[in-house]
Structures are given as C-alpha cells and as structure tokens.
Amino acid sequence: MPDIHQILKQYWNYDQFRPLQEDIINSALAGNDTLALLPTGGGKSICFQVPAMAKEGLCLVISPLIALMKDQVMQLQRRGISAIAIHAGMNRQEIDIALDNCAYGGVKFLYLSPERLQTEIFRERVKKMNVCLLAVDEAHCISQWGYDFRPPYLQIAELRELLPDVPVLALTATATETVKKDIQEKLAFKKQNVFQNSFARTNLSYSAQPAEDKLNRLVEVLKSVPGTSIVYVRSRRKTVEIAKELLRKGFSAAAYHAGLTFEQRNQIQAAWIENRVQVMVATNAFGMGIDKPDVRLVVHIDLPDNLEAYYQEAGRAGRDGKYAFAVVLFSPNDLPELREKVEEAHPPAEALRKTYQALANYYQIAVGSGEFQTYDFKLDELVKTYKLNPLETHHSLKQLETEGFLQLNDAYFSPSKVYVPAGKEELYKFQVANREHDPFLKLLLRMHGGELFSNFVKISERSLAQKLNAPEPQIRKALEFLHRSGVIVYEPQRDAPQVIFSTPRFDAASLPLNLKKLKAFRKLALEKAESVISYIQTDDRCRTQMLLEYFGELYDKSCRVCDYCLKVRKQEKQLDERIQFEKQVLEMLHQEEVSPKILLSRFTSTQKETLTQLLREMLDLGKLKYKENGNLTIA
C-alpha cells in the first residue's frame, strides 16, 4: 500500500497532516467504520481523499451540496486525479455515461447527492464498481436531531447492504452527543468509532453585543479589526442595502447572494479572496468550501436559527490560527423575532399540500410522474400565478424538501455541454448529407476530438462563434438543430435555481406527510432557537465554554479571549493595579505625609483617575486619614 505521507506530498504538496487527520486516515485504511468531527477548515476532505488514493478502487462520496461537490471535483481534477459528480440537473444519458466511466473507466472519486442512491440506474451500476471507501460528507444530515436533516441520507444504510465489505467514513464539523450516536446508528456502524477534535477555537474571540443602531456599531467593529471580513444577514435585500451603506462610509464592500448570476458570484468571490474587497455582506450560502484562511472577522447582523449554524459560520474566521473575532450584534426585538421566524418556518400541513399542488400544476406534472425531473425555479412567478403568500410558500417548499418530496438548489452554474451518441461512420454520413453543417461539426471535432463520443464535453457558444466568424445566436440555432436531428446531445448553459421532484408526483390531498415528525421538528427548532437566545443573553460565562457545552464537550478552562473573559481579565488587571497602587501609596506615606495633590503628581496621567478613586476608598475604609494641615497620613 502506498505511503500516505508520500500521497499527501505528491498531490497536495503538504509535508505533514493536521491534528487527527492521520489517525482518521489510518482508521479508514484499517477497514473501520469511522466518524470524524473536525471544525470548519480542519481539513475533512483530506481524510477521505488520501486513504482512497492509497487503496485500489473508487471512493464513493455522498454530499448534499452541489456547489461543494463541483468545487471538490474541480480541485481533484487539477491535481491530476480522475473525479466526477452526479447531481440534479444532469440528464439520464449524462448520468449513464458517468456511471459507465466509474465502472470501467478508472474514475477514482464519484460524488453524488443522497437522492441518487435509490435510483435503479445507480443501484445496478454500483454493483459493477470496485468501491474501496464510502465517504459521507455533512454526516449530521442523517440525524433528525441535527440542524439540517435530509431524509435521503437514511438510504445510505441500504446502500451498505450492496457494499457489505466497504468501510464508511462519516465527516461533519458539528454534532451534539445525541447526533453523534444517531449518525453511527443510522449508518449501521459495526462498532462505535469517533475521532473528534476539540470544538474549542483558542484563537477566536466570540462576543455578543447589544446594539440599537447595528449599522453604526458594525462600522465601529470593522474599523477596529483590519483585514478581511464576512457580515452575515438573512435576506438578499439586506446584503445589498448594507453593502451600499458600507461603500458610502468608505469600506471596500460587496453583496453576495444566490440571486446573482454565476459570473457575478465568481467575480465578487474572487475579488474578496484576492483582498480587493474587504467586507463580504452575504446570506449564509456564502463561505462553504471557500479556502480563505485569513478572515479576521465574522459579524452576524441577524441571529442564526441554531448554534450549529452559528459555530460553522463564525468558524470561517481565523482558520490560519491567528487571532480573529466572531461578533453577534443584537437588539431587544431580535429575540422575540427569532422565535417568530422559527414558528413561520414550520407552516401547517394545509400550506404544504397547497404549495405542492401549485408546484405540480405550474410544471404540469401528472400524478405518478416527474421523479428526478429538474425544472428552473422562480418563486416569484409561482407565487404570482397562484396568488400564494411568498413567505409561507418559501417555508412550505423547505419543509417539503425536509420530508423528501422535493430538492431545492440555489442558482448554480452548469456550462453548455455536447455529446455525440452517433458513431463516427454515422456522423460522416450526416455531414455528407448536410453540407451546411459540415464546417461546424468539423470545428467541434477539431476542438474536442474523440472525447465527444465517450463523454459530455463543456463547450462555449461564444468561442465557437468567434472561430467560425458567425453570430452566437446562429451557433445556438445550429446546436439545437443537431440535437433535434439526434446527431448530438446538446445541454444549454444553466444558471438558475432548480427544483427537483425526488419522488413520483403524489395527489396533494393524499401527500403522505408525517405530521408527528413535522411537529417534533418544530419543537426541536424552537429549542435550538432558545439555545441561541440563551447564548446571546448570557454575559457572565465564557462563550467558548457555552458553545462546547452545547456540543457535549466539557472544557474546564476559560478561553481568555471572548468578551466575558476579556472583561474578567480587565477586572483582574485593574484589581492587580489597585493592589500595587495601594502598596505604593502606603510606602510613600510611611516615609512622609503629603497632600493628595503631591501624591497624585508622582503617578502618570493615565493612573490618576484610578488612584483618586483608590484614595477615596482608603479614606472611607479608615486606612488613611487627613491631618489638620490637609496632608494624608496612614491611619
């Protein structure tokens, strides 16, 4: 078996592993089911990528986030490692080719969303794959006691029945004790096996600050902490408003949200990573999978729904190990508003059925059909067409996703792709019979070669238009004609939110909602919100200790860097100073009686206020007294 240190150096150019990574990798290589808990930025992907490279066969990676899947696949490919992803938005033919390549084409990593596990096409093909490791990313999604439960994750245990000798490596950044046990149980661990780094971030200063005027307080905080920052808010509208205000006040700021185009998101993200933008004002979609270690400050303008989300988002600061800050700004109204928002996020069953029916009508999906069909999704159009309440509809869609009926994806970019299903001889006959399309087909073949016949290839209509000296609409028209003719399969570019029906469409009246479970989720969400409120309101405990306690970790030391610990340290310093000052005063007065004015003149200007207060207290306590001439003396 290849040496894991050699693999780390060869592909990642690292000389050594981070804490716990090597132990987790060795556990996976030994064939043990393993649960790894590493904080945000702790290097979770290395933990399954290195052992997979050390073994023969393919690593199957289950992940719920398309953007993260695509990012990791791209990074592996850049390192010369064969990796592909299967996710919503791919057509059946594209999936078929990808799975074939996994079974016979030497692919090393297959990333797929959990919804794909129960499809017949996948279950048949996986039997032909030489799977060496099953990696489950964001493993907390398997637990209904976690903060982001995804029912399709429960199907992983059934997949293990098809791969009985393949070890599972589950990875997450946050999990309470209950969730840790639940993950291992739901993934059918042969025995409990947890590797966990402390949740403590010794370089991260947590604080919760009351602020009636949050914008002014934000400006003060940003001025006091130089370097790159993230400011989290709940809505797209607020990202734009706050970014504009910060620009007005002289900060280099940008707004980031899912409503931007792929090009806009890329440009803004690149500017921030390269430090051309200091402050990124974003919804919580921003930050996942972004490797920027030098973020110095994360500010939450709006309260997060739970401490798991807060810990992950705040943890994007200080990943380089240097001092960083995580600040929550809150006003008195925020606390009842958080409870209301959590209540709103769990609409009644009638609202869920109404939304489901509207969605099925909008896309004209017949009962019993539509499974894994992907549609471009515009909430405003759905709401307008069926006169729905926008907020209730948004939350109903989220609940339908939690129940496993739908899958919602924020806008993600999928470039145009082409595949040639026809054989070379068949293609040649078409070229002879359709000479007006011959130059275009020759250009495609010249640019992409034989890969067109074996896989979907990314293309650029603009680049093709430039090379043929033709208008771009004409190129699109040609591609659509060739697609209709069956010569190529053409998938146009996508950059819009997507909705996928995860099951065949139900009749809305008989939609099998688990009302008991929905009620339990609502209760759990409210409890988690109360934990956030308790964290915000508590000002007499170390914040790191509070967070660790929430995750079931006992931490007997105070962090010494949160707002409470800094306040205690300041008080201790002031007390030490007062003790020292008192000692100095007594020594001076033991040698001679002097007036308060002369006594004060012997100390610096910054010490005089503390000393004046100390002299009053010493007089009140009878340690000092005035003589008739106004001088001070020891009583």
pLDDT in tens, 454-492: 889 999 999 999 999 999 999 999 999 999 999 999 989
DSSP H or E stretch at residue 48: helix 44-54
628 has pLDDT over 90: no
Residues 6+ apart with CB under 8 A from 429: none
Question: Mind listing the pLDDT tens digit for each residue in 302-333?
Answer: 999 999 999 999 999 999 999 999 999 999 99
For 168-261, where are the alpha helices, taking DSSP H only?
A: 177-186, 214-224, 236-248
Q: Are 528 and 305 in contact (CB under 8 A)?
A: yes
What single-letter DSSP state applies at residue 10? I
Q: Are residues 169 and 62 in the same domain?
A: yes
Q: Looking at residue 412, what is its pLDDT?
A: 64
Q: Are residues 173 and 106 in the same domain?
A: yes
Range of the domain at 424: 417-492
Two structure tokens written together for 55: 């073994």
- The model's pTM is 0.83
Residues 6+ apart with CB under 8 A from 601: none
Q: Are residues 175 and 247 in the same domain?
A: no
Q: Looking at residue 496, what is its pLDDT?
A: 77
How many residues does the structure list for the chain?
Answer: 635
With H, G, I as helix, E, B as strand and everything else as coil, classify residue 148: coil
* Among candidate residues 24, 73, 66, 71, the one with its CA nearest the CA of residue 44: 24
- Compute the average pLDDT of residues 380-393: 95
Q: Are residues 192 and 222 in the same domain?
A: no
Q: Are residues 478 and 613 in the same domain?
A: no
Beta-bridge partner residues of 591: none
Q: What percent of the chain has pLDDT over 70?
A: 99
Question: Could you give the CA distance from residue 448 to residue 98 in angstroms, rounded to a whole number?
Answer: 18
Buried b vs exposed e over 438-473: b needs ≥16 C-beta within 10 Å? eebbeebbeebeeebbebbbebebeebbeeeeeeee
Dihedral sign of CA atoms 613, 618, 619, 624 in order: negative
Supply the mean pLDDT for the chain.
91
Q: Are residues 38 and 118 in the same domain?
A: yes
DSSP H or E stretch at residue 620: helix 605-620
- Compute the average pLDDT of residues 522-532: 95
Q: What percent of the chain has pLDDT over 90?
A: 65
CB count, 10 Å around CB of 191?
7
115 has pLDDT over 90: no
DSSP H or E stretch at residue 497: strand 494-501
Q: Looking at residue 51, what is its pLDDT?
A: 97
Phi and psi at residue 393, to the nearest 5°: -65, -45
Two structure tokens written together for 290: 């972004």
- Compute the average pLDDT of residues 366-373: 92
Instruction: Please indicate, yes or no, if residue 614 is contained in any of the structural domains.
Output: yes
Q: Are residues 423 and 455 in the same domain?
A: yes
Instruction: Please indicate, yes or no, if residue 519 is contained in any of the structural domains.
Output: no
Strand residues in 93-216 grouped as ranges (E):
109-112, 131-136, 168-172, 194-196, 204-210
CB count, 10 Å around CB of 120?
7
* Among candidate residues 389, 381, 382, the one with its CA nearest the CA of residue 358: 382
- Compute the average pLDDT of residues 329-344: 94
CB count, 10 Å around CB of 352?
25
Question: Could you give the CA distance from residue 276 to residue 271 in angstroms, rounded to a whole number?
Answer: 5
DSSP string, 291-339: --TTEEEEEESS--SSHHHHHHHHTTS-TTSS-EEEEEEE-TTHHHHHH
CB count, 10 Å around CB of 533?
16
Question: Mind listing the pLDDT tens digit for each residue in 218-260?
Answer: 999 999 999 999 999 999 999 999 999 999 999 999 999 888 8
- Compute the average pLDDT of residues 108-125: 90
Q: Are residues 79 and 163 in the same domain?
A: yes
- Choose one of 196, 225, 257: the last residue of a domain: 196
Question: Mind listing the pLDDT tens digit for each residue in 277-309?
Answer: 999 999 987 877 677 999 999 999 999 999 999
Instruction: Please indicate, yes or no, if residue 558 is contained in any of the structural domains.
Output: no
* Among candidate residues 208, 206, 299, 233, the one with its CA nearest the CA of residue 537: 208
* Among candidate residues 539, 537, 534, the one with its CA nearest the CA of residue 549: 534
Q: Are 296 and 229 in contact (CB under 8 A)?
A: yes
Phi and psi at residue 411, to the nearest 5°: -55, 125
Lowest mean pLDDT among 10-19, 62-71, 324-333, 470-479: 62-71
- Choose one of 139, 169, 196: the last residue of a domain: 196
Instruction: Please indicate, yes or no, if residue 557 is contained in any of the structural domains.
Output: no
Q: Looking at residue 326, what is its pLDDT?
A: 98
- Choose one of 177, 196, 215: the last residue of a domain: 196
* Among candidate residues 503, 196, 265, the one with its CA nearest the CA of residue 368: 503
Question: Could you give the CA distance from residue 352 to residue 184 in angstroms, rounded to a whole number?
Answer: 31
Dihedral sign of CA atoms 536, 542, 544, 545 in order: negative
What value does the CA radius of gyration of the chain take, rounded to a whole number of Å?
A: 31
Q: Looking at residue 43, what is its pLDDT?
A: 87
With H, G, I as helix, E, B as strand and everything else as coil, classify residue 450: helix
Instruction: Please indicate, yes or no, if residue 90 is contained in any of the structural domains.
Output: yes
- Compute the average pLDDT of residues 61-79: 89
- Compute the average pLDDT of residues 507-522: 93
Question: Could you give the CA distance from residue 56 to residue 380 in angstroms, rounded to a whole number?
Answer: 49
Question: Mind listing the pLDDT tens digit for each residue in 126-172?
Answer: 999 999 999 999 999 999 887 788 888 999 999 999 999 999 999 99
273 has pLDDT over 90: yes
Q: Looking at residue 408, what is its pLDDT?
A: 85
Q: Looking at residue 411, what is its pLDDT?
A: 62
Q: Are residues 40 and 105 in the same domain?
A: yes
Question: Number of folded domains in the chain?
Answer: 5
Q: Are residues 455 and 400 in the same domain?
A: no
Q: Provide the CATH number for the domain around residue 221.
A: 3.40.50.300
Share in percent of the chain as helix, strand, coil (round to 5)? 50, 15, 35
**CA atoms within 13 A of residue 425's CA, in its CB half-sphere:** 0
Q: Looking at residue 590, what is its pLDDT?
A: 87
What single-letter DSSP state applies at residue 195? E
Q: Are 110 and 59 in contact (CB under 8 A)?
A: yes
* Among candidate residues 520, 512, 514, 409, the one with its CA nearest the CA of residue 144: 520
Q: Are residues 212 and 314 in the same domain?
A: yes
Instruction: Please indicate, yes or no, if residue 174 is contained in any of the structural domains.
Output: yes
Instruction: Please indicate, yes or no, if residue 50 is contained in any of the structural domains.
Output: yes
Q: Provide the CATH number for the domain around residue 623.
A: 1.10.10
Q: Are 417 and 483 in contact (CB under 8 A)?
A: no
Buried b vs exposed e over 10-49: b needs ≥16 C-beta within 10 Å? ebbeeeebeebbbebbebbbeebbbbbbbbbbbbbbbbbb
With H, G, I as helix, E, B as strand and everything else as coil, classify residue 573: helix
Token match 């065949």: residue? 504
Q: Provide the CATH number for the domain around residue 364.
A: 1.10.10.10
CB count, 10 Å around CB of 164?
6
How many helices (H) and strands (E) would you count in the chain?
25, 21
Instruction: Please indicate, yes or no, if residue 518 is contained in any of the structural domains.
Output: no
Phi and psi at residue 249, to the nearest 5°: -95, 10
- Compute the average pLDDT of residues 110-116: 91
Q: Are residues 157 and 28 in the same domain?
A: yes
- Compute the average pLDDT of residues 59-67: 89
Residues 6+ apart with CB under 8 A from 16: 5, 8
